[in-house]
Structure 1
């Protein structure tokens, strides 16, 4: 199942270390099948509040997403980013092909409510 590393970059002190990080990050993703699907870009807030840049990196599965984040090659460059930015970062599992919003009810409702009480 596809997994995503999602970051909201709340503040970035752009300088030589961030430039170096950006030059090196792609090589850290390749061995784990990671690829950028969102890297900043224009957005429009529809509900609530949102600030900063959004970054989404897709991985073939959660295991590879976590392996990338914990890898020695990424650990070698992570301080280039974290020392010069403030961000929130998560890894989240995606859903399969054909998933529908209604599918969440199986997890949210007790078994007897989902089938009309039978």
Structure 2
């Protein structure tokens, strides 16, 4: 079963509000087997319009990623992200790993 990834491109507009969201998200993701593999860091935008911040959370599978996004705990902190940033978020299934 392939892993899945939540990919977020973010411009923080209110650091205090976004900070509340960012502080809670890793622990919530971990409950679903998720772990950050990218969290801010350097980047070089080669094509298209970039955002100032990028994040990728790896999950063991697609269903776990969806369950994280839809869970009550994440939904409780999500308003801080929405009020404190402009962003795009996608959940994408990875390629099947070789057996």
Q: Secondary structure at the match of 1:76?
A: helix
Alignment partners' CA distance in 1, 2:49 and 2:21? 28
Higher strand share: 2
Superposition TM-score, scaled by structure 2 size: 0.88
Superposition TM-score, scaled by structure 1 size: 0.75
* Number of residue-to-residue matches in the alignment: 97
Q: Which runs of 5+ in 1 are unaligned?
A: 99-118
Q: Which runs of 5+ in 2 are unaligned?
A: none
Partner of 2:91: 91
- For residue 97 of structure 1, report the CA deviation from its aligned partner: 2.7
> Between Structure 1 and Structure 2, whose CA radius of gyration is higher?
1
- For residue 44 of structure 1, report the CA deviation from its aligned partner: 1.4
State how 1:71-110 maps to structure 2 within 5 Å. 71-98=71-98
Partner of 1:5: 6
- Post-superposition, which runs of at least 4 consecutive aligned residues in structure 1 deviate over 6 A? none
Partner of 1:107: none
Partner of 1:18: 18
* Greater RCO structure (CA 8 Å; 6+ sep): 2
* Greater CA drift, 39-48 or 74-83: 39-48
